[in-house]
Amino acid sequence: MSKKLDIVHADPDDYFRYSPEGLKMLVHQCDVIWGGPTRGPISAIVHFAERAAEAMLPGKAGFAARWFAAWAIQPFIYLDPWLFKQDPKCACSFFILLKKR
């Protein structure tokens, strides 16, 4: 008997995640104008802390726990740009701006 898998990243749809090199390879027929990180490790930690807080408690208590976790940790996302400068590969998502040839 197979168990239905819960959707993890679909909010509403999320099928792929790529590194900057992977994105460039996919669009080799375009010129890359600009690119860089969009979210860093602190943003990821905030996201998972919010989800974990809500999952631990049912109903309104879970909503309150998620809100409190977000409120307490959210200011630390401002460290992400500094972390990008220390190590550009520590980002958890990237963007690229392309020009069609």
Q: Parse the chain into domains and list their residue ranges.
A: 20-100
**Contact between residue 80 and residue 88 where contact means Cβ atoms under 8 Å apart:** no
pLDDT at 61: 92
Please tell me what DSSP assigns to residue 14.
Answer: -
Is the model's pLDDT at 2 over the cut of 50?
no
Encoded tokens for 51:
């989800």
Task: Give 40-91 pLDDT, tens digit per residue.
Answer: 888 888 888 888 988 898 889 989 998 998 889 888 888 998 988 888 778 8
**Contact between residue 56 and residue 62 where contact means Cβ atoms under 8 Å apart:** yes
The gap from C-alpha 101 to its chain's centroid, in whole angstroms, comes to 30
Please tell me what DSSP assigns to residue 19.
Answer: -
- Which one, of 27, 12, 46, 90, lies nearest residue 54 by Cα? 46
Tell me the pLDDT band of 14, cut-offs 50, 70 and 90.
low
